[in-house]
Amino acid sequence: MAIFSRAEMDRRHDLLRDRMREHELDAVIPTSYASFYYLSGAPIHPFGRPMAVIVPGDGDPIIIEPFIERGHTRLQSWIEDIRVYWDYNPTPVLENPQPPLKSMIQLLAGAIAERGLQSGRIGIEDALLPLAHYRAVQEALPKAELVAASDLIERLRLVKSAEEIELIRIGDRIADHGQALALELIRPGRNAAELNAQIRAAMNDFAFENCPDVAFVATSDVGLGSTAKSAGHSDWIRWGRSDVVKPGQILATVFWAWVWGYSGNVERAIAVGEPNARQRELFELMVDLNEKAIAAVRPGVRVVDIDRLCKDLFARHGLVTPTGTGIGRGITSYEGNARELQLDIRLYNDLVLEPAMVFSIEPHVREDDVVYRHCNTIIVTEDGCEVDSNVPRGVLVV
């Protein structure tokens, strides 16, 4: 079953080729997880086995990938020219073995030669291509002009199609289910291991029942865990039965769901018991910042202006934040180091918003290692925006 329709994939390639003509490129070679997936229709985490999709200015594209990915790629991608290598050679020959990178590059060079592009201007993902891989491409294509094209390729993904937005909406619904259940279940005395297991199982069951044909990953974090076990943005289990809900806590709960690699997410700060005066002050400030940021989203607004709004309000209260106000939604992956960076809500980002851009809004207040944060997926509409969550956004007390 293909993840995306042929019309959707044609739209992406037509848009890419328009950009290629503007930059006088004869071909582009996406090699990162996100870009390969976006332009092939098949998600592959390379895990030591590099892959590429060759998109020429004219003619059909070509996929180069490890043999073990061929089964699902044939079902998910409309690209018919798929060339595979084994872990030890371009063909299943045991003599003169070589590593995957060398085999992939050998197939890549052969495909480029077949298309007569050995001396062409070829776009590469300069921001994400490892130096060793770049040098291997250079050696294999000595007459080609390799052109930095990460920005060109990444900008294709900024405005989401209806099919992409539907995947994000499914992810948000799964995450919403988990967040709503957390508000019901979080009570003093409950331990983190039981809560997270119960909520994640419920998120899985919700997905099985309501969207049985999608591939997904659902994660649950009720905001309790060991700092010593933390590993930044990861799905490691870093809580146990000794981590217990206690009165007076402010929990930063996080619920994610990736649907065919597209991320949906809902997060809420939750006070356990009536917050004290300072806690309520900070909680109400965060809620106010969150609502003001959401209200500012509409076509024509610059991303920097949304972040500046929040930073200025923080400053009026003598507060600073180490992060931006939100992140891009779309093809994301911790293990694939994939983010929609060009939609991150940051002071340095002067991108102008358009309908169907999708990102999170999540200004957060931090004091004494306590985080107050609500987070939602925001979909830019023709005259404003939509918050893709049904969970309340005020001061939440259990």
Task: Confirm whether 6-155 and 162-387 share one CATH topology.
Answer: no
For range 299-310, the mean pLDDT = 97
pLDDT tens figures, 314-371: 899 988 888 899 999 999 998 888 889 999 999 999 999 999 999 999 999 988 889 9
pLDDT tens figures, 88-98: 999 999 999 99
**Percent of the chain whose predicted confidence (pLDDT) is above 90:** 90
**Percent of the chain whose predicted confidence (pLDDT) is above 70:** 100
Q: Looking at residue 48, what is its pLDDT?
A: 93
For range 171-175, the mean pLDDT = 98
Q: Looking at residue 321, what is its pLDDT?
A: 85
Q: Looking at residue 375, what is its pLDDT?
A: 97
Taking all residues of the chain, what is their mean pLDDT, rounded to a whole number?
Answer: 95
User: What is d(CA 398, CA 277) in angstroms, rounded to the nearest whole number?
Assistant: 17
For domain 6-155, give the fold: Creatine Amidinohydrolase; Chain A, domain 1 (3.40.350)
CA 17 to each of CA 13, 22, 30, 128: distance values in angstroms, whole numbers, following the listed order: 6, 9, 13, 21
Going from N- to C-terminal start, the domains of the chain cover 6-155, 162-387
CATH class of 162-387: alpha beta
Give which of 186, 360, 380 is closest to 256, Cα–Cα. Answer: 360
The answer to whether residues 206 and 177 touch, using CB atoms and an 8 Å cutoff, is yes
For range 363-386, the mean pLDDT = 94
Task: State which amino acid sits at residue 364.
Answer: H
pLDDT tens figures, 215-264: 999 999 999 988 888 887 888 888 888 899 999 999 999 999 999 999 99
Task: For the beta carbon of residue 215, count every other beta carbon within 10 angstroms.
Answer: 13
The answer to whether residues 347 and 321 touch, using CB atoms and an 8 Å cutoff, is no
Give which of 152, 150, 202, 198 is closest to 175, Cα–Cα. Answer: 202
- Please state the separation of Cα 334 from the chain's center in Å: 8
Burial profile 66-104: b = 16 or more Cβ within 10 angstroms, e = fewer: beebeeebeebbbbeebbbbbebbbeeeeeeeeebbbbb
User: What is d(CA 8, CA 331) in angstroms, rounded to the nearest whole number?
Assistant: 15
pLDDT tens figures, 10-47: 999 999 999 999 999 999 999 999 999 999 999 999 99
Q: Looking at residue 235, what is its pLDDT?
A: 81
Q: Looking at residue 3, what is its pLDDT?
A: 96
